[in-house]
Amino acid sequence: MTQKERIFNRLKIGEWLSSVEASRDMYIMRLGARIWDLWHDGHNIIERKVAGKSWSEYRLIPTQAPTMPPAFKASGRCWDRNVVPILDFGFLWSFVTRFLLFILVVSVAAQFSPHTFFKSHQFLALSRFLTAMKGDVR
């Protein structure tokens, strides 16, 4: 086991490790260099000076797992209307059908004079369709 591994195992416990303890317990004389190696590997290690002494103590700060946002709440539909209002396909379907109906009326009305259009079978079918659509309006 390398010096770096022994120091890392000691720091994983959550205790402070000083250069005096490292030299006495693990026979490591250059603790600062090994701490730098661990820090360079991406570990979050903090240092504090010991009051009244000439050495430092080191401690490993554990990494926190990223927090995920809460999931969408379940509802009867695929998406909840309050969460994602842009995906309200009922409104989109209603808008598209009314737009296409408007285009149909304009194109049919352009072919007839007003007197003949209102007596034609296209107008009767259109009025039946509009009557049936009244129940679909939200």
Condensed to tens digits (0 to 9), the pLDDT of residues 41-92 reads 988 998 888 888 888 899 998 877 777 777 665 555 555 455 555 555 666 6
**Domain assignment present for 80:** no
pLDDT in tens, 110-127: 666 555 655 666 667 777
pLDDT at 24 over 90: yes
Domain that holds residue 118: 85-136
Residues 7 and 55 in one domain: yes
Tell me whether residue 67 is in a domain.
no
Using alpha carbons only, what angle is made at residue 136 by residues 134 and 103, rounded to the nearest 5 degrees?
Answer: 75
Q: Is residue 72 part of a domain?
A: no
pTM more than 0.75? no
What's the structural domain count of the chain? 2
Q: Is residue 65 part of a domain?
A: no
- Gap between the Cα atoms of 10 and 8, Å rounded: 5
Count of H helices and E strands in the chain? 6, 3
Q: Is 16 exposed, middle or buried (0-12, 13-18, 19+ CB in 10 A)?
A: middle
Q: What is the dihedral of CA 85, 89, 95, 97, to 10 degrees?
A: 180
**55 touches 18 (CB < 8 A):** yes
Residue 76 domain-assigned (yes or no): no
Specify which residues 47 forms β-bridges with: 58
Tokens 């049919």 -> residue: 108
